[in-house]
Chain A
Amino acid sequence: MDNLVIAGREIALDKEGFLRDLNDWSPEVATALATRENIELTRDHWDVITLLRDFYQEFELSPAMRPLVKYVGQHLGPEKGRSIFLMQLFPPSPAKIGSKIAGLPKPTNCL
């Protein structure tokens, strides 16, 4: 897979477009990763990306769909704590695509 080039620096991606080194993540990197998924990041996207990173900080886990929905609901209100909201932001698989853009570890294909 092609690497990203951000401000003249090359950022390595794996075959599926996940960061090889999670320390490479920055908001600019997130924007570039989103573009590769044909997603233009809005305020709502950024709110969820921030929560994804908070979730990882708090629990040291990349969230599956169910806990992500609950976590978003707790922090952004019940209107947004719904699968459909996340599905619209990060189709077709919000936990996976969201984790990729937020620079979290690649899910183990398990949850």
Chain B
Amino acid sequence: MTLHIVNQSPLGGSALHDCLASFVEGDALLLIEDAVYAATAPTHHKLPQDNIYALTADAHARGVKLAQGVKGIDEAAWVDLCVAHTPIVSWFR
């Protein structure tokens, strides 16, 4: 199962859009850096229902409150996510 990592704001470019087009049920999505803005309104940005994570540090830095359904994680949990998934795909810019 793939771990998708997005770092771009949802409307700032095509990274999230491209990622969701390759998202398969059972995959996980991690929002980091500017992508945490998508975590404020997951349904608006058509995020999948399950396995959605956001980096807490990046959300806090931006004053972003994670909506229900998005799980905030720290860097240690991020490493665990990487261990549990393969491949890891980064979607950026």
Task: Indicate if A touches B (C-beta under 8 A).
Answer: no
